[in-house]
């Protein structure tokens, strides 16, 4: 049943994603949209900058501490699981069940956390570097990680919406969730009572921070930035088509590793990529992939 129907609400936009709590919907939380989001979203209150600062603190702290505590950080990164209450993601993950081997993640994180000439690592500059460069790690996993970090903000947002709408709140079992605490820079355990909608544990998610897909992925990065850089700077590639360059220099089965290798050797390409994507985020991203209203979930 859809959330508005379960709560007996009229057919209006309330600021939360109106999805079917009986199944997963292929949507993702994008932390980059926290910057442009207002604290008062629809009828509820979502503390967008608190959430944003938590996400950035998680990645900045772990990037800086990585060389001292690799095993702990990798183990915690690998332990993130889907938080079913949002009903986001690919249904049953539709995956082969294969994760990224720890030794592969370790090797990639060794590079992602290295300080560069600007004093920041790739991971600090843009947490979505994990999606770009970590093999078999997609937007669903990254969205799950962000959801875990900001679970408290989503829980409080859900309560604020239901109270504002004068809905009788139905609670379920008590559950322990780990959330990121910026005071101690670590995961801490908190106990929450499940919020039930149509008898199903549910967290409402603001429409303004939800996307159908991320603005950029590895293929886009390679096609639009790396290949263009090769065509401009490598005489051998000047008259080659994108397909010819892809076939000659890149293998699709390990595209993320090859993209990372090129980024390390040509940091200006990654800077150009960030300037054009994150720098113009509000105008481009909003129009392309961000949900336009509560029902924009197909």
Q: Are 194 and 264 in the same domain?
A: no
- Give the residue from 201, 215, 204 showing the smallest Cα distance to 294: 204
Q: Are 81 and 26 in the same domain?
A: yes
Q: Are 73 and 12 in the same domain?
A: yes
Residue 57 lies in a domain: yes
Q: How buried is 117 (Cβ within 10 angstroms: 0-12 exposed, 13-18 middle, 19+ buried)?
A: exposed
Q: Are 147 and 236 in the same domain?
A: no
pLDDT at 287: 44
Q: How buried is 122 (Cβ within 10 angstroms: 0-12 exposed, 13-18 middle, 19+ buried)?
A: buried
pLDDT in tens, the chain (298 residues): 999 999 999 988 899 999 999 999 999 998 888 876 666 667 889 999 999 999 999 999 999 999 899 999 999 988 888 899 999 976 544 444 455 666 667 888 899 998 887 788 888 888 888 889 988 788 888 999 999 999 999 999 999 999 999 999 999 999 999 999 999 999 999 999 999 999 999 999 999 899 888 877 899 899 999 999 999 999 999 899 999 999 888 876 789 999 999 999 998 998 888 877 765 444 444 446 777 677 767 5
Structural domain of 285: 215-290
Q: Are 29 and 145 in the same domain?
A: yes
Q: What is the total count of domains within the chain?
A: 2
Residue 297 lies in a domain: no
Residue 6 near residue 202 (C-beta atoms within 8 A): no
Of the residues 193, 214, 235, which one is the last residue of a structural domain? 214
pLDDT at 298: 57
Residue 49 near residue 37 (C-beta atoms within 8 A): no
Phi, psi (deg, nearest 5) at residue 117? -60, -25
Of the residues 172, 197, 214, which one is the last residue of a structural domain? 214
**200-201 and 44-45 beta bridge pairing:** unpaired
Residue 296 lies in a domain: no
SS3 139: helix
Of the residues 163, 195, 214, which one is the last residue of a structural domain? 214
Residue 218 near residue 130 (C-beta atoms within 8 A): no
DSSP H helices, the chain, are 3-6, 48-65, 70-78, 102-112, 122-125, 129-133, 139-149, 151-164, 218-221, 227-233, 242-249, 255-265, 267-277, 281-288
pLDDT at 93: 44
- Give the residue from 194, 68, 218 showing the smallest Cα distance to 142: 218
SS3 206: strand
Q: Are 233 and 173 in the same domain?
A: no
* CA pair distance 11, 166, nearest whole angstrom: 16
Q: Are 273 and 163 in the same domain?
A: no
* CA pair distance 141, 267, nearest whole angstrom: 26
Residue 77 near residue 131 (C-beta atoms within 8 A): no
* CA pair distance 151, 72, nearest whole angstrom: 21
Q: Which two tokens stand for residue 181?
A: 């605490």
Residue 253 lies in a domain: yes
């Amino acid at each position: 049943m859809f959330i508005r129907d379960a709560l007996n609400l009229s057919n209006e936009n309330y600021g939360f994603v109106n999805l079917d709590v009986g199944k997963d919907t292929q949507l993702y939380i994008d932390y980059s949209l926290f910057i442009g989001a207002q604290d008062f979203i629809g009828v509820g209150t979502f503390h967008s900058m608190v959430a944003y600062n938590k996400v950035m603190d998680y990645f900045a702290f772990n990037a800086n501490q990585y060389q001292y505590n690799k095993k702990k950080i990798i183990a915690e990164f690998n332990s993130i699981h889907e938080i079913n209450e949002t009903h986001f993601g690919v249904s049953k993950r539709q995956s082969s069940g294969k994760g990224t081997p720890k030794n592969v993640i370790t090797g990639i994180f060794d590079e992602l956390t290295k300080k560069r000439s600007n004093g920041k690592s790739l991971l600090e500059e843009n947490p979505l570097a994990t999606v770009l460069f970590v093999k078999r790690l997609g937007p669903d996993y990254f969205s799950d990680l962000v959801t875990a970090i900001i679970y408290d903000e989503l829980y409080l947002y859900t309560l604020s919406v239901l109270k504002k709408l004068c809905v009788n709140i139905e609670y379920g079992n008590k559950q322990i969730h780990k959330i990121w605490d910026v005071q101690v820079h670590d995961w801490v355990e908190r106990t929450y009572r499940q919020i039930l909608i149509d008898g199903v544990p549910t967290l409402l998610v603001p429409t303004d921070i939800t996307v159908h897909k991320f603005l950029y992925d590895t293929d886009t990065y390679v096609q639009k930035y790396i290949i263009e850089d090769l065509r401009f700077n490598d005489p051998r590639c000047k008259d080659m088509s994108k397909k010819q360059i892809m076939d000659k220099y890149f293998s699709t089965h390990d595209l993320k590793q090859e993209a990372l290798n090129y980024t390390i050797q040509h940091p200006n390409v990654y800077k150009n990529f960030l300037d054009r994507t994150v720098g113009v985020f509000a105008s481009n991203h909003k129009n392309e992939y961000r949900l336009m209203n509560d029902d924009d979930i197909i």
